[in-house]
Amino acid sequence: MKVPATNGVTLRPIRPEDGGFLYRVYASTRREELAQVGWGEAQKAAFLRMQFDAQSSYFRENYEGAEFSVILEDGRPVGRLYVARWPEEIRIVDIALLPEHRNAGVGSMLLGGLISESEESGKPVSIHVERFNPALRLYERLGFREVEDKGVYLLMERSPGAATH
């Protein structure tokens, strides 16, 4: 995906040395959820490591050929974007930013790039979103609509030409 260089946000492929950073991004997405359990910090850390490793393996095994990128802002890593491009669909496998970079337009700009790609290719763009994810409202404003209820997750899709709010 091409990202406009004027805003300081770029993508680069993940590298082996990004493991610690990618774990931090993942852990930050689970912080609120884990704050509600009565575990000690060591238990939380062990759980997060196990879940991160399982998710990483799942993504690699089930999204072969996907683009796994680190999001950089002014050269500094601020998040991750994983995208699979299939013959009939563009699937956002994962998009996550560190907390201090959320609600600052970075995610919206990247989603806008994927929506432009969708418009140009004529393919819908889709994403699985957890029901409690605050970004759910952003996806709806950008024209994504629920196409399947998967319990904890919703499969959302934006068709080319969909209206934004």
**Domain chopping of the chain, boundaries:** 9-158
What pLDDT digit, counting tens, does each position of 104-122 carry? 999 999 999 999 999 999 9
Beta sheet of 9-13, edge-to-edge order? 9-13, 67-73, 76-86, 89-97, 125-130, 153-158, 145-150
**Which pLDDT value is given to residue 112?**
94
**Which pLDDT value is given to residue 132?**
85
In the predicted model, what is the mean pLDDT of residues 64-69?
96
The CATH number of domain 9-158 is 3.40.430.10: no
